Chain A
């Protein structure tokens, strides 16, 4: 499982380009930072208050005034800019944060996303997830393809939505997919799986790209 999550994080990291300003969610999305290429400048937004998050702090580098959105003590890059919540989410809603990487409970064929609440369970709240999904031009979902065999990619979400029609790409251990007006298009397939296996793990009819490539694990 840990290997599969690392595979997903590594593949997601390749998606970004020199100069990008992005937001990485908590959990698997945070792991993406470990695989970002070193020869490019990518700036990560920490929605609690700055652009330019670096790495977890240690006893030497600890500054009690710098946490990430998960409450962990972290360090800031020399190009960091600190800001308050209004400015932070102004950057988000204004479309200035190019992409957000998040997990999902359910993704629908039209890009609807549910990832914040299960009715009847303990309430966590949406935090900044709704703002990020509406504001960021690209919403990239990184997740295991199914939840213990149950479909997470579905015709329609059954859980309350985080945002409508926001997901642009889905990266799982099996495949890389893009949400298009025609449906969900698979652009990369991992060699450990057949098309039939990926289709069986998915609740919508997948469209196979004519340019289907092997999953980029380099």
Chain B
């Protein structure tokens, strides 16, 4: 019988230099820390990273109560493991602008709602999405993350920007609770990108704060289907700060 439960190091063993990964989280809340730590231990380089933002840097508190270790994608940036980021916001973690300035990192900006839909399109079999967001702005004229021109399409007299699906080699997700089949839920504002990223990559890996036996809780609580999840890692800390 298949077993999805792996150690963090086993779960990231297939990540190779130059791959594209996507990582859940919003300014460090809801990011899969044990998986980021494992990537740092593995020491992969030249990654393209898809996420809302760059997490938090060493010494950068999120809020009044936060700790001072790097969080989320911030761990990869501290260790210079990233060549390109695809994000909606790059202003909070100072490592991003430092690395843009020294030429070691490049970026593609995508509006937050569009980013979610591009990822969802990849997970759920759509050829792309039509959105009015970005018309008349640099989003219309800038090339996309793979250097392609974007098309403006007119549907029933209304203009839209055509945005292509955004797919990765690996999706790294934090779950507040999961069962051993991979069904999972994300508590409160940790949902952010941790829902849409499932299935948008060749390999979906979740890091669970709490792992329960199949059938031990009412299945009505699960937000994401375990069939999308390839690997489950235990040991994520519920205390995120």
Interface residues of A (CB under 8 A from B): 46-50, 57, 59, 62-67, 69, 71-73, 76, 82-86, 88-90, 92-93, 112, 117, 122-131, 134-135, 160-164
Which B residues are in CB contact (< 8 Å) with A64? Answer: 29, 65, 238-241
Which chain B residues have a beta carbon within 8 Å of chain A's beta carbons?
26-30, 52-53, 62-65, 87-92, 96-97, 100, 107, 109, 111-117, 120, 131-139, 176, 186-196, 223, 238-241
Select the residue from B30, B107, B138, B196 with max chain A CB neighbours within 10 A.
Answer: B138
Q: Which 8 A-B pairs have the closest CB atoms?
A: A89-B113, A124-B91, A164-B136, A71-B27, A84-B195, A131-B113, A49-B189, A84-B191
Closest B-chain residue to A80, C-beta based?
Answer: B188
Residues of B near A86 (CB, < 8 A) are: 113, 116-117, 120, 195-196
Q: Could you give 24 example pairs across A and B, Cβ below 8 Å? A: A47-B112, A48-B26, A48-B27, A49-B26, A62-B65, A63-B188, A65-B188, A71-B27, A71-B28, A71-B29, A82-B188, A84-B196, A85-B112, A85-B195, A86-B196, A92-B113, A93-B113, A93-B132, A117-B138, A123-B90, A126-B109, A130-B111, A134-B135, A161-B137
Q: Indicate if the CB atoms of A49 and B192 lie closer than 8 Å.
A: yes
Asked if B65 and A127 make an inter-chain contact with CB atoms under 8 angstroms apart, the answer reads no
Q: B62 to chain A: which residues have CB within 8 Å?
A: 67, 71-73
Smallest CB gap from B131: residue in A: A93
Q: How far is the CB of B75 from chain A (nearest CB, A)?
A: 17
Q: Which residues of B contact A76 (CB under 8 A)?
A: 188
B133 touches A135 (CB 8 A): yes
Contact A84 B133 (CB under 8 A): no
B188 touches A161 (CB 8 A): no
Q: Which residue on A lies nearest to B97, using beta carbons? A: A122
Which A residue's beta carbon lies closest to that of B112? A128
Q: Hey, which chain B residues are within 8 Å of A48, CB to CB?
A: 26-27, 29, 189, 192
Inter-chain CA distance A57–B63, complex, in Å, is 10
Assuming the contacts A93-B113, A127-B112, asked whether A134 and B196 have C-beta atoms less than 8 A apart, the reply is no
Given contacts A89-B112, A89-B116, A134-B132, contact A127 B88 (CB under 8 A): yes
Q: Determine if B191 and A83 form an interchain contact, defined as CB atoms under 8 angstroms apart.
A: yes
User: A121 — nearest CB in chain B belongs to which residue?
Assistant: B97
Residues A131 and B28 in contact, CB atoms below 8 Å apart: no
Contact B26 A125 (CB under 8 A): no
A82 to B28 CA separation, bound complex (whole angstroms): 17
Check A85 against B52 for contact (C-beta < 8 Å): yes
Bound-state CA distance A139–B176 (Å) is: 35
A48 to chain B, nearest CB (A): 5
> Known contacts A49-B189, A71-B29, A164-B135: does B176 contact A65 (CB below 8 Å)?
yes
Question: Which A residues lie within 8 Å of B132 (CB)?
Answer: 93, 134
